Structure 1
Amino acid sequence: MNKRETWIDMAKGIGIILVIMGHTSNDIAQHYFYWFHMPLFFILSGYTFKEISNTTDFVAWLKKFTKRLLIPYVSFGISLFIVYQFVNIMTNEFRLIDAYKDFYNLFYGGQVLTNYFAVFWFVTCLFVTQILLAGILLLFKSHIIRISIVALCYILAHIEASLVSKDFAFPLNADVALLALAYVAFGWYLKTFAKNFFQNRYMSISIISLSFLLLLGERFNIYDYKLDMKFHGYTNIVLDLLIPITFSLTLLLFCYWLEKIPGVNLIAHLGKVTMPIMYLHMPINRLIALEWPSYDWLLFTLIGLAAPLIFYKLSKQSPVTNVLFLGNFRKKSYRERESVY
């Protein structure tokens, strides 16, 4: 069990680094990491999801899940809202109507969130997606029916993306859950054959080779691929499944074997702090940029990791901040813990 937890945390740790780098000015990171960094987290959330067998357990799980995910969302959101408005006052850019819009958008969620709150869309989308997965697993016991429902949602996601204007913002980015459900479901099914997959050298070589071929195909202009889940930037019904899953599996393979090497605990530790890093890396860098307008992607990444880690350590010292910002209501056993990011 510890082995499994380690490589999962390592994958999350590397994944959050890719998320931060994707928000820098580095062109390679902005293009290629977007191919799979968010699908990776949805896949991992599916992998660690525990099936719920009855309605009573579903209600209990939903209460815990809602508190653990949405209380930090509100806590970080309101705290950053206050900081943002204070900065606007200090820079003579405060307008009451803008403050109202920012506060309203925080609870409307999804793609209307920008600036300090730009990455918050993921949390509400994950919230809806995991509820969908839990409901499907609870109501339907046939794998054929389950997979058929997931496939239908995946198709509907692409139909919506092609018909609805990208300027239309669905509340909480809940519609993106139609796409994310495919990644979460893949992660859930992955755990049934993960051990054989990771230890089979031929399957591993095949996945890594496919990733390399997909990179070559894009580099030689055989196709032009982009993925932006937040803004419904998914237009290729084949590649939107093939590329994110292939590259995510390649990273998971890397982590599975990397954990055997001593000295990788730091990366695994990052995987346990992904939520604070996700919430804070952009606002902290934006605040620094007020006094230091231009610095490179590497420093952006290092600051985006270090500052949230300090915040995490401090938050753990108080029961109040441990609940409000980390969603830790009580000490859980390994079997009770689930990855949400």
Structure 2
Amino acid sequence: MASKRMEWLDTAKALSIILVVLGHAGHQYLDIYLGWFRIPLFFFLSGILFRPVCTRDFFRWAAGRMRRLMVPYFSYGILIFAVFNLHNMDMIFEHLAALLYGGRALQGPYGVFWFITVLLLTQMLLALMSPLKRWVQMTLITALFIIGHTPVLASSDFFWNVDTVLVAVLYYSLGHYAKDFIVKYNHSFWLAAGSALIAAFFVIMSANGFMAYEMNLKMGRLNNPVMDIIVPVSFFMPVIYLSTVLARCRARDALGTVGRYSVVIMYLHLPVNIFFRTVLGYDVTTFEFTCFGVVIPVIIGMLMSRAGVTRRLLLGRDNRMPKTAG
């Protein structure tokens, strides 16, 4: 069961990161509708891998998480800067300051770096809540989710996008709390179909002008707390069911590899395509953007896994096989 579950999670991670890349390709409608759930789904899937942390082990655990996520964060940030500013390295210290602060100010090839700091803080927040009773955790998380929808928060550029953690922790904790349910029912066609009908209903309502809905966690563009639970979550089970089906097919090995290198893809899909567009002068299509943004980072990730120094600096690990972020 554990092996099959990991295959399913790797496949789900693969679909999730492909949707993230596709959503960044610049297609008007894909960006809107994929934006409803692609990042919440990523947090949800990561939450499935979360394990409660004892109070006495928190600081040791947190140091490990910090090292695993933030060493690659700065390594990629510096390398990407060097690639695009090879003849203008005098700005490196200003760039390092921007990386250190993080948040919404990071744009262009660094446009997804906010996700890493939010994921780290979200993991730490749920870990701090681990000793509490489940109902206390859920009450606190719900309260934080509501506070995170305060409009004034979206007007400020917070350190590490810390305001987004208030919202992200709900999706992450849902993955943790619903883990046993998901493992039991991830193969349920009728559950996935029913959820897909609800998701389709929202898409049709929006496409016909009966519902105005937008979600952008990075920029703080949210709606109301109820809709921001129902709408994203309605897309989760169809993706999970599809992942379970694909995990039984020949494509599972390729998708599993994509899933294992999902964080590398997260970092590199924008720089790779910006390089094609600005340095090489090649205007990539939506399809090419997605292919380049997935395949090239996976190849780079596989090469990086061969050397100890690049595994530590760019994969955040000592072993050859990267694990899905939990």
Q: d(CA) in 1 for partners of 2:64 and 2:285?
A: 40
- 1:113, 1:121 within 8 Å by CA — same for their partners in 2? yes
| 1:328 alignment partner in structure 2 | 317
Choose from 280, 284, 287 the match for 1:295. Answer: 284
- 1:111, 1:121 within 8 Å by CA — same for their partners in 2? yes
Residue 99 of structure 1 deviates from its aligned partner by: 5.2
| 1:184 alignment partner in structure 2 | 172
| 1:83 alignment partner in structure 2 | 83
Q: d(CA) in 1 for partners of 2:186 and 2:163?
A: 33
| 1:156 alignment partner in structure 2 | 147
Residue 227 of structure 1 deviates from its aligned partner by: 0.5
Secondary structure at the aligned position of 2:260 is classed as: coil
Alignment pair present for 1:137 and 2:130 = yes
Which ranges of structure 1 fall in alignment gaps of 5 or more residues?
none
Secondary structure at the aligned position of 1:193 is classed as: helix
Alignment pair present for 1:265 and 2:253 = yes
| 1:251 alignment partner in structure 2 | 239
Question: For 1:1-341, what aligned pairs fall within 5 Å after superposition?
Answer: 1-52=2-53, 54-86=54-86, 89=87, 94=88, 100-138=93-131, 140-141=132-133, 143-159=134-150, 162-166=151-155, 168-290=156-278, 291-330=280-319, 339-340=324-325
Residue 329 of structure 1 deviates from its aligned partner by: 2.3
Task: Name the count of aligned residue pairs.
Answer: 324
- 1:119, 1:278 within 8 Å by CA — same for their partners in 2? yes
Q: d(CA) in 2 for partners of 1:45 and 1:195?
A: 14
Q: d(CA) in 1 for partners of 2:246 and 2:307?
A: 34
Q: d(CA) in 2 for partners of 1:61 and 1:100?
A: 30
- 2:187, 2:245 within 8 Å by CA — same for their partners in 1? no
Residue 193 of structure 1 deviates from its aligned partner by: 1.6
Bigger drift between 171-180 and 72-81 goes to 72-81
Q: d(CA) in 1 for partners of 2:119 and 2:190?
A: 33
Q: d(CA) in 1 for partners of 2:29 and 2:256?
A: 24
Q: d(CA) in 2 for partners of 1:199 and 1:275?
A: 26
User: When the two structures are superposed, what TM-score results if normalisation uses the length of structure 1?
Assistant: 0.89
Q: d(CA) in 1 for partners of 2:293 and 2:241?
A: 26
Q: In 2 relative to 1, CA 201–303 (structure 1 residues): closer, same or farther, beyond 3 Å?
A: closer
Secondary structure at the aligned position of 1:294 is classed as: coil
Q: In 2 relative to 1, CA 191–95 (structure 1 residues): closer, same or farther, beyond 3 Å?
A: closer
Cα deviation code 1:47-103 (max 9, x no counterpart): 110112x223222221211111111111111111222221xx3xxxx595x655433
Q: In 2 relative to 1, CA 242–284 (structure 1 residues): closer, same or farther, beyond 3 Å?
A: same
Q: d(CA) in 2 for partners of 1:310 and 1:202?
A: 37
- 2:75, 2:313 within 8 Å by CA — same for their partners in 1? yes
Q: d(CA) in 2 for partners of 1:37 and 1:274?
A: 13
Q: d(CA) in 1 for partners of 2:19 and 2:185?
A: 24
Q: d(CA) in 2 for partners of 1:331 and 1:72?
A: 15
- 1:111, 1:173 within 8 Å by CA — same for their partners in 2? yes
Q: d(CA) in 2 for partners of 1:31 and 1:83?
A: 31
Identical-residue share of aligned pairs (%): 28
- 2:216, 2:222 within 8 Å by CA — same for their partners in 1? yes
Q: Tell me which amino acid in the other structure corresponds to 2:324.
A: S
Q: Tell me which amino acid in the other structure corresponds to 2:58.
A: F
Q: d(CA) in 1 for partners of 2:187 and 2:300?
A: 38
Q: d(CA) in 1 for partners of 2:7 and 2:290?
A: 23
Which ranges of structure 2 fall in alignment gaps of 5 or more residues?
none
